[in-house]
């Protein structure tokens, strides 16, 4: 089966989409990306892209930070993503990766006077972390990048060296995921996820000013909690020691979905099992992303399959 990408303003086989060795973004991390999930609904035999427009709106905002002029509107980008998903015709969960990057074949650290370009590809993508049993986390010895260094709200590729340092340290030490503190010592987020805790029946999550990436899944969970469970989310700083004594904790992200955290720094969270509020939010979330809840169909963009299994 040929896999297709969008590259140089056209669809083409992935095997033909190549960039030059002098590409600026490769050397200096001058690119912005998104991660969008297509969720396969086996009952309907249908794929739904989740909150695809919000992802492209975030990408367009982030382009401003990196001084990249992306010559598409969010709606045009959505249409390209749907078309690409259709061309690839997967009958399983997928992950779409759009990337805007400084494509100039040029040496020199800067953002100005460089051409840029846009590409997008699709890969089949199952679970990133264990959503059933939950994950075991550590507090990273690496600190989350500060807004005075590289804007953390932007998904700039160069930032992700910081996340990769934390993830690999965690993994090599026998944990599933890292939780990073910011430069003030407050909890920021996971290496690719936002973090929530449950305190006295309420949800608490760090605010954008604690250098988080303002996640679309984070917003999804806050909305579902409020509308479906009547639970408000308090956005406030969280300290490391508070994590050790919370009732429940979970991570959210396009890749990670809603992943329960059952252990942090070898301290069991709650009774070490998936918490009640976490499970209820997970159920609501999985129904919503697969287009199974009519109240949230506006978040789901259907993809028709051209290639039948
Ligand atoms: N934080 C980081 C560092 C991430 O890379 C991601 C994944 N995009 C998130 C949080 C979660 O964001 P979202 O829910 O929009 O995928």
Rounded distance between C-alpha atoms, residue 99 and residue 282, angstroms: 29
Structural tokens at position 37: 């999930």
Give tens-digit pLDDT for 2-34.
899 999 999 999 999 999 999 999 999 999 999
Contact 192 CB / ligand 1 (< 6 Å): yes
- Whether 99 maps to a domain, the answer reads yes
Residues paired with residue 137 on neighbouring β-strands, in sequence order: 177, 264
- Whether 233 maps to a domain, the answer reads yes
Q: Please state, rounded to an integer, the average pLDDT across all residues of the chain.
A: 96
* Burial class of 298 by CB neighbour count within 10 A (0 to 12, 13 to 18, 19+): exposed
Residue 189 CA: nearest ligand 1 atom is 1
Contact 188 CB / ligand 1 (< 6 Å): no
- Chain centroid to Cα 271, Å, comes to 28
Contact 30 CB / ligand 1 (< 6 Å): no
Give tens-digit pLDDT for 130-143.
999 999 999 999 99
Give tens-digit pLDDT for 119-128.
999 999 989 9
Do 112 and 240 lie in a common domain? no
63, 40, 172: which is closest to 114 by C-alpha?
Answer: 63
Do 226 and 266 lie in a common domain? yes
Do 107 and 45 lie in a common domain? yes
Q: pTM of the prediction?
A: 0.96
pLDDT score recorded for residue 1: 77
Give tens-digit pLDDT for 74-94.
999 999 999 999 999 999 999
Active site residues: 155
289, 287, 220: which is closest to 250 by C-alpha?
Answer: 220
Asked if 242 contacts 168 with a C-beta cutoff of 8 angstroms, the reply is no
Contact 35 CB / ligand 1 (< 6 Å): yes
Domain housing 84: 4-126
Indicate which CATH number applies to the domain containing 92: 3.30.470.10
Q: What is the mean pLDDT of residues 140-154?
A: 96
Q: How far is the CA of 238 from the centre of ligand 1 (A)?
A: 18
Q: How many Cβ atoms from other residues are within 10 Å of residue 229's Cβ?
A: 14
pLDDT score recorded for residue 309: 43
Q: Mark 8-32 as b/e (b = at least 16 C-beta within 10 Å).
A: eeeeeeeeebeeeeebbbbebbbbb
Domain boundary pick from 83, 105, 126: 126
pLDDT score recorded for residue 304: 87
Q: SS3 for 198?
A: strand
- Whether 306 maps to a domain, the answer reads no
Q: Is the pLDDT of residue 151 over 90?
A: yes
Do 155 and 115 lie in a common domain? no
Q: SS3 for 128?
A: coil
Q: Is the pLDDT of residue 308 over 70?
A: no
- Whether 307 maps to a domain, the answer reads no
Indicate which CATH number applies to the domain containing 227: 3.20.10.10
Do 70 and 98 lie in a common domain? yes
- Whether 94 maps to a domain, the answer reads yes
Count: domains in the chain: 2
Q: How many Cβ atoms from other residues are within 10 Å of residue 93's Cβ?
A: 17
Q: How many Cβ atoms from other residues are within 10 Å of residue 226's Cβ?
A: 13
- Whether 278 maps to a domain, the answer reads yes
- Whether 309 maps to a domain, the answer reads no
Q: Best mutation site among 193, 195, 281 for ligand 1, i.e. most ligand atoms within 8 A of its Cβ?
A: 193
pLDDT band at 306 (very low <50, low <70, confident <90, very high): low
Contact 217 CB / ligand 1 (< 6 Å): yes
Domain boundary pick from 77, 103, 126: 126
Long-range contacts, stretch 8-12, CB < 8 angstroms, 24+ apart: 8/117, 8/119, 11/83, 11/84, 11/87
Domain boundary pick from 97, 126, 155: 126
């Amino acid at each position: 089966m040929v896999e297709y990408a969008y590259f140089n303003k056209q669809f083409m086989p992935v095997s033909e989409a190549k960039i030059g060795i002098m590409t600026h973004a490769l050397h200096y991390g001058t690119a912005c990306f998104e991660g969008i999930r297509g969720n396969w609904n086996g009952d309907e035999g249908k794929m739904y892209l989740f909150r695809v427009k919000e992802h492209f709106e975030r990408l367009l905002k982030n382009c401003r930070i990196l001084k990249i002029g992306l010559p598409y509107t969010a709606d045009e980008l959505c249409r390209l993503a749907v078309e690409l998903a259709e061309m690839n015709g997967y009958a399983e969960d997928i992950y779409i990766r759009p990337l805007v990057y400084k494509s100039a074949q040029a040496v020199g650290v800067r953002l100005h006077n460089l051409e840029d370009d846009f590409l997008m590809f699709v890969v089949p993508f199952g679970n990133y972390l264990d959503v059933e049993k939950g994950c075991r986390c550590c507090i990273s010895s690496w600190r989350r990048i500060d807004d005075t260094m590289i804007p953390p709200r932007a998904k700039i590729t160069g930032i992700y060296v910081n996340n990769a340092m934390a993830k690999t340290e965690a993994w090599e030490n026998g944990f599933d995921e890292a939780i990073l503190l910011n430069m003030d010592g407050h909890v920021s987020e996971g290496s690719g996820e936002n973090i929530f805790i449950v305190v006295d029946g309420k949800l608490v999550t760090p605010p954008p000013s604690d250098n988080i990436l303002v996640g679309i899944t984070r917003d999804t969970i806050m909305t579902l909690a409020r509308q479906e469970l009547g639970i408000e989310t308090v956005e406030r700083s969280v300290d490391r020691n508070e994590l050790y004594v919370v009732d429940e904790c979970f991570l959210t992200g396009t890749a990670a979905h809603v992943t329960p955290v059952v252990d942090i720094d070898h301290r069991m969270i709650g009774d070490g099992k998936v918490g009640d509020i976490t499970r209820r939010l997970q159920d609501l979330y999985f129904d919503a992303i697969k287009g199974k809840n009519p109240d949230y169909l506006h978040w789901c963009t259907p993809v028709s399959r051209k290639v039948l299994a």
